[in-house]
Every structure is written in structure tokens, then in C-alpha cells.
Structure 1
Amino acid sequence: MKFRSIYIIAAIIFAALLYGVYSYLLKGVPQYLFWKVDLLSTEDFTKITINDPENIWLTGAEGSIYKSEDSGESWSRLRQPDGIALNYMYFINQNTGWVTGENGILLSTTDCGKTWSSITVGDTESSFSAVWFLNENNGFIAGGMKNQKAAGLLYSTTDSGKQWNKCNTPVSHISSLVFLDNAAGICCTSDGLLQTGDGGKSWLPEQSESNLPLERLFFINRESGWAAGSENGVYTTSNGGKTWKVSRGTEEYKINDIFFIDTHSGWAVGKDGLFLYTLNGGKSWERLETGVVDDFLSVYFFNTDFGLICGRNGTVIKVETLP
């Protein structure tokens, strides 16, 4: 009996020590919860954008635009589907935003999405995947010709999108575009990363560890950026895109989008409900199971505790961390 009591006490002490070690290891590690939001739609949602918890936007592959004003709990459809895919949304402030899509479509709003105006840039064979504005007047849209990998398109405006001028473009389709200032820009193409130092007039290959296709760019400041590829992992730069290095261990993942809230905390999403996060600026990544089998196409975090993911077949996921 005495030895049994000693055994029980030892077991309790060991369990307490084990719990203490476990708690210490988990300290500072986010514990994520994934909540599925049902919009009663099977439309592929291509892009999610958050101005603040009261202004959250979704664009769809059938032409819909949805808005949430309650942190993603409920959604209203502001634009009915018309069969023309919308690919990317970008807001420069609370009221002014743009949406690019197929068939040369470009939508714009100046009243926080209450109304949208539509124009066609180029022709109906144009497909625009990216938009970037330096300010309310000066901006770019980018993409390519449908079903033509070697036909990249880049247009610029200096009058808030009233007129668009075609720029000299890279030879391949542009999937993502970032400008670091009025002159320096970087784009992802089907031939790898390209850079410009003259406002998009000419483009040169970036120095990276791969010339494989990359899908998405994200810069948190002038120096720190990340690029993600559909089957090529995550690449990082700490010198404004002059050189890039692959984040080891991510090469196996098919990634569709990437987002950072600061130079340390970031997230990447992709095929079959893939969800990755990093706490060290992308040096290493951890994968979490989400219970979702549909592809994730876009991720956006308002802060380190609250984010949203959207994807195929009407997928919208609310992401929160445990307190």
C-alpha cells in the first residue's frame, strides 16, 4: 500500500511536470479556431479584403461582391453575379477601391462600395489579376491575355482610373503586382519574379533561387517581402526584392495566397484547405489542419487574433485565436 501511494504521488508529480513543460512550449504559440461561414453559395470566392471589422469584402468567380459589417458573421451581396469572374480587390482608403476581373473588366467605388462603376480596359480578351494604386490618382492594373501565357498586360493611370495607358510589359502573364514607391515595382509572372525601377516602363528578372511561376506578392514595408508559388513554396526578401531565398520546407505546398500583419507574423493558404503560419518572418512555417477539403484562394488578417479565408465552392472561414 505504501509503495502504491508513492507510485501515485510520483505519477501526479510527473503529470504536473509534463503539463508544465507542455504549457511552456505552447507559450506564445497561437491556438487557432476555424469557423465555417455559410453564404448559401457554391461560387468560388477569389479575394477577401478587410478595411476594418465593419468593412469586409469578398469577390467571386461569377461576378458577385459581398460585404460584411459584423466581423464576418453575416454577409450581404452588393453585386449580383453576371458570369464574369472578379479576380482581385484593392482599397486605398475606407471609401475608394477597385476590382479587376476577366473580359477586361475594372470596377471602382468612391463610396465604400455602395455603388460601383464599370469600364473595360483593353478588350474582352484581357484578364486582369492585380491592381495597385500609389495614391488616389496614380495606379496600375496587370494581367494578361486569355489563354496566352506569353502575353502579359500592364496599364497605368494618372487620373484615378478615368483613362488607362498601356505600358511596356513583361512577356508573360502577371499574377501579382506591388510597387514600393513611384518607380520601384515587383511582379509575379509565369516566368518568375520581375522588377522595374522606372515606373513599369521596363522590367528585368529578379535574383531568386527559382525562376518558377509565382502567384502572390506581399510587402509589409520597403524592405521586407514575401512571394508564394502555386507549387514552389514561399520566398522571402529583406532588401526590397533585390534577392530572394526560399523558406525551406515550404516547397512541397501548393500556395495560393500569403499575408503578413508585421515582419514576424504571417499566414499562407492553398490547395485542399492548406493553412500555414509563421512567427519568425517566414524562416519557418507550421501547418495546421482546418478540416476543410476545398482550396483556399485568399487570406486576410485584421490583427494577429482575427482573420478570414475564402476559397472554392463558397468557402468562407473565420479564423480566431484562443484567448
Structure 2
Amino acid sequence: MRLRTVFICIILLFASGLSSCKKDLLHWKKDQQIDSHTTHTIDRILFLNDTLGFAVGGLRFLYADILTTHDGGYTWSLETYPEAGKEIYDITASPDGTLYTCSYDAKMLSSGDTGKTWQFRQLSSWQPYKSVAFPTSTHGLMVGGVSFDFGCTGHVGSDGNVTSYDSVGYELNQIRMLDSQVGFVCGYGVIKKTTDGGNSWRFLNINTDNFTAMDCRNPACIWTCGYAGSIFKSTDGGESWTRMRNGNDLTIPRYHLYDILFTDDMNGYAVGEDGLVTYTDDGGQHWMEFDRFTKDHLRCIARAPNGDLIVGGENGAFYRLQR
């Protein structure tokens, strides 16, 4: 009898959670599919100004893709770079405007003419880099890893020369530098901070997820999401963290999150598997799910120059969203 009562309570908890999910389901004012001209994965989106933007991706062992828009993200053209030949996971711009990408097996493309032409460089370390930052015009950092228990960090010059390299026992997923000295990396059970341009890194007090992405709104306010569905916020530059969504809570939907974006202090989005877009309008206190316009995993989210959202993901999934 006692076991039966416990079982009924568990069922009621799940039913309550499902009912809450349906009640909180949001609807887009407009969700428009963008022609990506590819069935490959789109991993990262970057806008340089009101008209020019890039999206990068490909297939891990086969293709390196760069999509370019000249009209603020409404239409895109695709170029594939066989000399790189590995999936491009990230793209960044240095202070002088030079663009850099990073690919699996330490392949790098760079452009000094806003993407009109790209130069290929094979880095000497041959590591599975997944994220890149160029906080100065001459010095960049790359991080990556595989299989949860291997990670790597490389310092690279604008000429593609790797000046130093280090390996760690946990996968690293993303690096974001706020200036030439201060930055963060996130990965499997870790977020670390540097205050000396990446020469040394300090572990921060957060470790309960495989952290996949960060949104650094300013030096104090940092958001991060994890593959297990957790979302954390720091308001003191990473010294302390508040869990805004518990991915291990059995009473709420199970999410796998890949990217996070806040458009202001209160409004934020996270994207993930099976077309998930979840949203908060109260600074992360509550998260609501949008109705799903695709079943493809969404890997990245960015804000278009006019304020729309653009998301990209697997199988060439590419959408423009209006809330």
C-alpha cells in the first residue's frame, strides 16, 4: 500500500510537469526557414554589421562550409573549402577586423578582406579545436577536445604559428575573451577564467554539467548552459554562480542544450536538441518552451541586426524567428 502511494505521487508529479509545459508553450510570431544550400551542420553565426554576417559548419571529417549574408541575414550564399576539409565549429573577428575560423584537426581559415577571400593554414598541433578567440590582432587562442576526457588549448599567431600548446583531462567546448587579458573557457564539468591573456587559468566554483556555451554580456554578467539542461548565471565575473535551471530536476522537462543568448538583462534564449528553443523574460527565473518548427538539433543562435533571431543546426537547419 505504501509503495503504491509513492508510485501515485510520482505519476502526479510528472503529470503536473507535463501540464505546466503545455500551459507555458509559446508561439512565434513568425518562423521562416532560410535556404542554407546545404544538409550539413551549422555550428556558429556571426554578424559584423547591419548587413554582413557569416555562418560556419560542415561535416566533421569531410566538409568545411562558410555561408555569407549581405542583407542582414535574409539570404545567404554557401562556399565550401576542400583544402580545410573538416567541420568549422567557430568564427571570430580580431580587433583589426580579420576573421578567423577553427576546424577539427587544427585547420584554420582567415580573411583580411571581410570574407571576400579566405586563406587556409594547417596548424602544427593537429588538435580537435572547437572554439577560437583573437583578443588582439596578433594573438589568438583555440580550445577543443573529444570524448569528455581530453581537452586542449593552443596559443596561435595571426600567421597560424602555434606558439604554445597544453592538454587537459576534460573536454573543452568554448572560449570567450572579453578583452586582451580576461576570458573564460567552458567544458566537461569545468569553467575556467584567465586574467593574463590565457597564460594561466583558474577553476571556478561550478562543475555540475557538460557546459556547452557561454554568453558574456559584460565582465560581470556571464551566462552558461549545459548538455544536461542546466543554466547558470554569474553577476560577479564568475566568482559565484546561481543555478537558474536544474537539468537534473526530474519534475521539469529534460533538455540537451547547445547554445545560449541574452538580448538584454531579462530576455534570454537557449537552443538544443530536437528543435528546442526555450525562453525567459524575467532574467532566468522561469523558462518557457516555444513550439517546435523543426526536429533537427539546433546548435547555435544569434541576433540579426534588425532584432530577429537566427538559429542553425544539423541537416542544414536554418531559421529566422520573430517573437
Query: TM-score normalised by the shorter chain: which range applies?
Result: 0.7 to 0.9
Query: For the structure 1 residues 201 and 94, does the alpha-carbon distance in structure 2 shift closer, same or farther, using more than 3 Å as the test?
Result: closer
Q: Deviations over 1:66-95 (max 9, x none)?
A: 111123332212334564111111124684
Q: Provide the residue aligned with 1:265 in structure 2.
A: 267
Q: Provide the residue aligned with 1:24 in structure 2.
A: none
Secondary structure in structure 2 of the residue aligned to 1:54: coil
Q: How far apart, in 2, do the equivalents of 1:79 and 1:222 lie?
A: 36
Match of 1:190 among 188, 191, 199: 188
Secondary structure in structure 2 of the residue aligned to 1:215: strand
Q: Provide the residue aligned with 1:155 in structure 2.
A: 154
Q: How far apart, in 2, do the equivalents of 1:313 and 1:94 lie?
A: 34
Q: Deviations over 1:212-251 (max 9, x none)?
A: 3111111010100111111132111100011112113655
Q: Provide the residue aligned with 1:69 in structure 2.
A: 70
Match of 1:164 among 162, 165, 178: 162
Secondary structure in structure 2 of the residue aligned to 1:186: strand
Q: What is the aligned-residue identity percentage?
A: 22
Say how many residue pairs are matched. Answer: 288
Counterparts of 1:159-308 in structure 2 under 5 Å? 159-208=157-206, 210-248=207-245, 252-302=254-304, 305-308=307-310
Q: How far apart, in 1, do the equivalents of 2:130 and 2:191 lie?
A: 15
Q: Which protein, 1 or 2, shows the higher relative CO under an 8 Å CA cutoff with sep ≥ 6?
A: 2
Amino acid at match of 2:41: D
C-alpha displacement of 1:130: 0.9
Question: Does residue 1:47 correspond to 2:44, yes or no?
Answer: yes
C-alpha displacement of 1:304: 7.6
Query: For the structure 1 residues 185 and 74, does the alpha-carbon distance in structure 2 shift closer, same or farther, using more than 3 Å as the test?
Result: closer
Secondary structure in structure 1 of the residue aligned to 2:258: strand
Q: Provide the residue aligned with 2:142 in structure 1.
A: 141
Q: How far apart, in 1, do the equivalents of 2:116 and 2:234 lie?
A: 38
C-alpha displacement of 1:30: 9.2
Q: Provide the residue aligned with 2:129 in structure 1.
A: 128
Q: How far apart, in 2, do the equivalents of 1:239 and 1:86 lie?
A: 32
**Gaps in structure 1 of 5+ consecutive residues:** 1-28
Query: For the structure 1 residues 92 and 181, does the alpha-carbon distance in structure 2 shift closer, same or farther, using more than 3 Å as the test?
Result: closer
RMSD after superposition: 2.4
- Asked whether the 8 Å contact 2:192–2:201 carries over to 1, the reply is yes
Question: Does residue 1:57 correspond to 2:54, yes or no?
Answer: yes
User: TM-score when scaled to structure 1?
Assistant: 0.81
